Chain A
Amino acid sequence: MAQKLIPTPSQTVGPFFHLGLDRPEWSDLTAGNPQGTPLGERIVIEGRVLDGDGAPVPDALIELWQANAAGRYAHPDNRQTDKPLDPNFRGFGRVATDAEGRFRFTTIKPGPVPGRGNSLQAPHINVILFSRGLLIHLHTRIYFDGEPANTADPLLSSIEDPAVRGTLLARRAEGSGSQEGTPARYRFDIVLQGENETAFLDL
Chain B
Amino acid sequence: MATDPPAFARPRPGTQPPPLYPDYASTQKRAPKRPPIRFEHTLSETTGPVFEGGWAGPDAADLTRQHKGAPLGERMILAGRVLDEDGRPVPGTLIELWQCNSAGRYHHPVDQHDAPLDPNFTGAGQVVTNAEGGYRFLTIKPGAYPWRNSLNAWRPAHIHLAVFGPAFVTRLNTQMYFPGDPLLAYDPIYQSTADAAARERLIAQYDPELSEPEWALGYRWDMVLRGRAATPMDPA
A interface list, Cβ under 8 A from B = 1-2, 4-21, 51-53, 55, 57, 59, 63, 65, 67, 73-78, 90-92, 113-118, 121, 124, 126, 128, 130-139, 141, 155, 158-159, 164, 192-194, 197-203
- Beta-carbon contact of A11 and B17 below 8 Å: yes
A117 to B111 Cα, complex, angstroms: 50
Interface presence of B120 (CB below 8 A): no
Distance A164 CA – B45 CA, assembled complex (angstroms): 21
Residue numbers in A under 8 Å from B49 (CB-CB): 65, 74-75, 90-92
- Report 16 cross-chain contacts, Cβ distance below 8 Å, ordered by A residue: A7-B226, A11-B175, A12-B175, A16-B106, A17-B160, A52-B33, A73-B43, A74-B49, A77-B46, A113-B44, A134-B27, A135-B189, A136-B16, A139-B36, A200-B37, A202-B35
Q: Contact: B173 with A137, CB < 8 Å?
A: yes
Q: Which residues of B (1-54) have their CB < 8 Å from a CB of A?
A: 1, 3-5, 9, 11-12, 15-19, 21, 24, 26-50
How many chain B residues touch A (CB < 8 A): the figure is: 89
Residues in B with CB closer than 8 Å to A6 are 12, 15, 85, 195, 197-198, 201, 224
Additional pairs, 7, CB under 8 Å, beyond known A53-B29, A77-B167: A1-B235, A9-B17, A16-B100, A73-B44, A75-B50, A135-B24, A136-B16
In the complex, B234 has a CB within 8 A of chain A: yes
> Does B192 make an interface contact (CB < 8 A)?
yes
Instruction: Report the nearest B residue to A92, measured CB to CB.
Output: B49
Residue of B at shortest CB range from A51? B29
A135 / chain B contacts, CB cutoff of 8 Å:
17-19, 21, 24, 27, 189, 192
Contact A9 B30 (CB under 8 A): no
Contact B29 A121 (CB under 8 A): no
Residue of B nearest to A12 (CB): B189
Instruction: Please give the residue numbers on chain B whose beta carbons come within 8 Å of chain A beta carbons, in ascending order.
Output: 1, 3-5, 9, 11-12, 15-19, 21, 24, 26-50, 55, 83-87, 96-98, 100, 106-108, 110-111, 122-126, 160, 162, 166-169, 171-175, 189-190, 192-193, 195, 197-199, 201-202, 223-227, 230, 234-236
- Select from chain B the residue with minimum beta-carbon distance to A9: B193
A20-B124 in contact (CB<8A): yes
Residues of B contacting A193 in the complex (Cβ-Cβ under 8 angstroms): 29-33
Q: Are A65 and B168 in contact (CB under 8 A)?
A: yes
B111 near A16 (CB under 8 angstroms)? yes
List of B residues within 8 angstroms of A92 by Cβ: 48-49
Chain B residues whose CB sits within 8 angstroms of the CB of A5 once the complex forms: 83-87, 224
A65 close to B48 (CB less than 8 A)? yes
Known: A16-B106, A20-B162. A8 touches B36 (CB 8 A): no
Q: Is A9 a contact of B15 with CB atoms below 8 Å?
A: yes
Choice from B3, B44, B224 contacting A8 with Cβ under 8 Å? B224
Q: Which residues of A contact B12 (CB under 8 A)?
A: 6
Kindly state the separation between the CA atoms of A4 and B38 in the bound complex, as whole angstroms: 23
Cβ–Cβ < 8 Å partners of A4 in chain B:
9, 85-86, 227
Central interface residue in B16, B202, B227, by most chain A CB within 10 Å: B16
CB distance from B151 to the nearest CB of A (A): 19
Is the beta-carbon distance between A132 and B224 smaller than 8 angstroms?
no
**Contact present for B27 and A133 (CB under 8 Å):** yes
Known: A11-B17, A90-B55, A135-B24. A192 touches B37 (CB 8 A): no
